[in-house]
Amino acid sequence: MKSRTAKVLHELGGRSMLVHALEAVRQVGAARVVAVVGHDREQVSAAVTAHDAGVVQAVQEEQRGTGHAVRVALDALDDVPEGTVLVTYGDVPLLTAQTLSTLLLDHTHEGRAVTILTAEQPDPTGYGRILRDGDGAVTAIREHKDATDDERRVREVNSGILAVDAVFLDHATRRLDTDNAQGELYLTDIVATAVREGRPVGAHVLEDVWQTKGVNDRVQLAELAAELNRRTTEHWMRQGVTIVDPATTWIDSDVTLGADTVLHPGTQLLGATTVGEGATIGPDTTLRNVEVGDGASVVRTHGSDAVVGPGASVGPFAYLRPGAELGARGKIGTFVEVKNATLGEGAKVPHLSYVGDAEIGEGTNIGAGTITANYDGVHKHRTVVGRHARTGSDNVFVAPVTIGDGAFTGAGTIVREDVPPGALAVSSGSQRTIDGWVQRKRPGTPSADAAAPADASAEETAGE
């Protein structure tokens, strides 16, 4: 990956490849999960613990192959497991729990020692090939580097994902050797062991080859991310969500959407964002960990860790920062930034304003160009505006300050002191007009030329 980040921690669909893998095996219902960590294990181990502290971690000090990794995993357990062991990987993020469950059912129903998840690849280069006898029975898996020219023509490949009888797996991994082109302990060699011992071996062929594809560089990561997103958008459209342009709409795996919601082009719904029914999102909107209520509208907006109530409207060109909470039927309008602030039901901040560290009561309207001056250079302070207040345009609220229920403020007011309920606060003086100032102070300018006819007309009127 050419990255300081461990490969399996790179993300697609809002989750790391590691989390996709852990979620799949947990959903299958595994009694115990063992994660084998080796390269970049400090990063990977911390990520495993953060996601699922119940996972047993086994350290592979030397990377001696997949067979060695499984042996390390078995040795990390207090006893030899019973039943079936499922072996999968941290870099096959599209593999689903449904596929793993089907693999396990096939394995147990047929009473096999080993069942291999396989797929037909148009270009099998680099994959281990599935070798079968004349009757179609699986006889071995041959790694690409060890395969003959005839064997390399086989298109059925090993995904590396296996269901194996636990007792046999313990026995077979102890007998692996390094007699191969890479000098490693291949897990795939347990297939030949099972065949020699007369144990049943089979393959579960998966038509959906995307689920078996791994990631080894950022090109492959992007390819799988695009395919995952295609599947995600298709899922939500089948659940009753309208996605106008799936090609420009990105939806993370943990997002939930209600029926009859419409997503317009350029929309990105990330993290744990939830959108209710009948909402409209986009175009050109990015929301991360945002809760959007039924029937709300969010247009050309960037938001994170915020709440938009039912029937509320946001945007265009709004910025919802963490802690922003808009009540039902409220409005955050054009070029408005809101941070760590609560707007009550029906409250509105329609234009060109910054509302930070504030509480706006229900039904209140905040005038255009308003700023809550919440920072004194050392500490943040809160502004509280009561219910059904009306504040004028171009106001500055110097926090901490409270504007009472039903209070009004005049245009251009700087509010430094609390305003009682029902009062009017005005801080600007009376307007002063100086006639003829431009002709005297800016003679010969375009402004003076423009004003000249009006000045002449005024003098004629005065002479009459």
- 402-427 tens-digit pLDDT: 999 999 999 999 999 999 999 999 99
**Whether residue 97 is found in the same domain as residue 245:** no
Among candidate residues 121, 84, 117, the one with its CA nearest the CA of residue 102: 117
Find all residues with CB under 8 Å of 381, minimum gap 6, and list them.
357, 374, 375, 399, 400
Strand-pair category, 156-165 with 114-120: antiparallel
Buried-exposed string 79-93: b where 16+ CB fall within 10 A, e elsewhere: eebeebbbbbbbbbb
- Residue 53 sits at φ, ψ, to 5 deg, of -70, -15
**Whether residue 107 is found in the same domain as residue 256:** no
Confidence check: pLDDT of 454 > 70: no
Q: Grade residue 182 by pLDDT with cuts at 50, 70 and 90.
A: confident
What pLDDT is attached to residue 376?
Answer: 92
The range of the structural domain enclosing residue 339 comes to 240-425
Considering 154, 186, 203, which residue would you say is the last residue of a domain?
A: 203
Q: Is residue 217 part of a domain?
A: no
Q: For residue 251, list its beta bridge partners.
A: 269
What CATH number is given to the structural domain containing 408? Answer: 2.160.10.10
Number of neighbours of residue 110 by Cβ within 10 angstroms: 12
Q: Is residue 140 part of a domain?
A: no
Considering 153, 176, 203, which residue would you say is the last residue of a domain?
A: 203
Arithmetic mean of pLDDT, 101-110: 96
Q: 383-393 pLDDT, tens per residue? A: 999 999 999 99
Arithmetic mean of pLDDT, 293-319: 98
Arithmetic mean of pLDDT, 45-55: 97
Q: Count of domains in the chain?
A: 2
Q: 145-163 pLDDT, tens per residue? A: 999 999 999 999 999 999 9
Q: Is residue 295 part of a domain?
A: yes
Instruction: Please report, rounded to a whole number, the percentage of residues in the chain having pLDDT higher than 70.
Output: 98
Q: Is the entire prediction scored with pTM above 0.85?
A: yes
**Whether residue 298 is found in the same domain as residue 178:** no
Q: 85-105 pLDDT, tens per residue? A: 999 999 999 999 999 999 999
Q: 308-352 pLDDT, tens per residue? A: 999 999 999 999 999 999 999 999 999 999 999 999 999 999 999
- Residue 430 sits at φ, ψ, to 5 deg, of -70, 150
Arithmetic mean of pLDDT, 433-450: 92
Q: Grade residue 452 by pLDDT with cuts at 50, 70 and 90.
A: confident
What pLDDT is attached to residue 80?
Answer: 86
Confidence check: pLDDT of 241 > 90: yes
**Whether residue 95 is found in the same domain as residue 29:** yes
Find all residues with CB under 8 Å of 440, minimum gap 6, and list them.
none
Q: Is residue 439 part of a domain?
A: no
**Whether residue 321 is found in the same domain as residue 420:** yes
**Whether residue 43 is found in the same domain as residue 182:** yes
**Whether residue 170 is found in the same domain as residue 314:** no
199 CB burial (10 A radius; 0-12, 13-18, 19+): middle
Confidence check: pLDDT of 305 > 90: yes
Q: Grade residue 459 by pLDDT with cuts at 50, 70 and 90.
A: low
Find all residues with CB under 8 Å of 193, minimum gap 6, and list them.
172, 175
Cα four-point dihedral sign 243, 244, 247, 251: negative
What pLDDT is attached to residue 457?
Answer: 65
Integer Cα distance of 174 and 71 in angstroms: 7
What CATH number is given to the structural domain containing 39? Answer: 3.90.550.10
**Whether residue 188 is found in the same domain as residue 286:** no
**Whether residue 190 is found in the same domain as residue 259:** no
Confidence check: pLDDT of 59 > 90: yes
pLDDT mean across residues, the chain: 95
The residue annotated as part of the active site, out of 51, 351, 381, 388, is 351
Query: Hey, what are 389's tokens?
Result: 């207040």
290 vs 267, 319, 323, CA distance in Å? 13, 12, 10
**Whether residue 288 is found in the same domain as residue 193:** no
Among candidate residues 369, 300, 101, 66, the one with its CA nearest the CA of residue 189: 66
Q: Is residue 135 part of a domain?
A: no
Q: Is 388 a catalytic residue?
A: no
**Whether residue 169 is found in the same domain as residue 278:** no
Structural contact between residues 216 and 224, judged by C-beta atoms closer than 8 angstroms: no
Q: Is residue 458 part of a domain?
A: no
What pLDDT is attached to residue 135?
Answer: 87
Arithmetic mean of pLDDT, 41-66: 95
Q: Is residue 455 part of a domain?
A: no
**Whether residue 194 is found in the same domain as residue 254:** no
Arithmetic mean of pLDDT, 116-136: 91
Q: Is residue 157 part of a domain?
A: no
